[in-house]
Chains A and B, each alone.
Chain A
């Protein structure tokens, strides 16, 4: 069965601190993809990044970086120099590799960045 676990329910940091959000996944598929989504207080779901199981290179996009490690089944997300606008719920997700293409979401991590 496929599963995504985000053990951190809520994280609170002060602006400009770095913060890492953890994601651990389970899948029996040899080829799979992982996503991160952001849900700000306004409620929409915003796509942040996609990673496939063949590519274990870390990725950096501005203040965001992602560390994908197949050996530990983890796909962690780091925000450098956090800002108040980063306050949101962040979801890690794994699409089911069948006809439903269902996204299996983790329970989300609520990040609060205090000024």
Chain B
């Protein structure tokens, strides 16, 4: 099915470990982004990309890296996991840079850092 695919769905990490959350979309969307969802904090933008080779920081980028080598993929890297990064992570994409397009979200990755 066309859409945004996130892997893994669940992950437990130890403090200090690194890992990559994968995000892939097959809709040829130019714009991709990562959000984290925390109780009482809502959804917060981590990083975003307006096209291959272009990335920028959102409101909570510390501790995360991203790259966009292809239109389809936008992985999120946790450099050294901390308990504060325990959250649900969502990848979202949209077609182009026109504001009226809706965002398509992946199914989420639930990450626990112990």
Contacts and interface: CB of A to CB of B under 8 A. Distances in A.
B42 interface: yes
Interface in A23-55: 31-33, 35, 37, 42-47, 50, 52
Contacts, number: 61
B114 interface: no
A108 B42 contact: yes
Chain B binding surface SS class: strand
A95 B99 contact: yes
Contact of B110 (A37, A43, A102, A108): A43
B58 A102 contact: yes
Contacts of B74: none
**Interface bin, chain A:** 20 to 34
Q: Which residue of B35, B59, B100 has the most chain A CB atoms within 10 A of its CB atom?
A: B100
Interface residues of B, number: 27
A101 B100 contact: no
B50 A33 contact: no
B43 A105 contact: yes
B56 A33 contact: no
Interface string A61-79: 0000000000000000000
Contact of A44 (B31, B50, B100, B108): B108
Contact of B48 (A31, A35, A50, A101): A101
Interface of A: 31-33, 35, 37, 42-47, 50, 52, 91, 95, 97, 99-103, 105-108
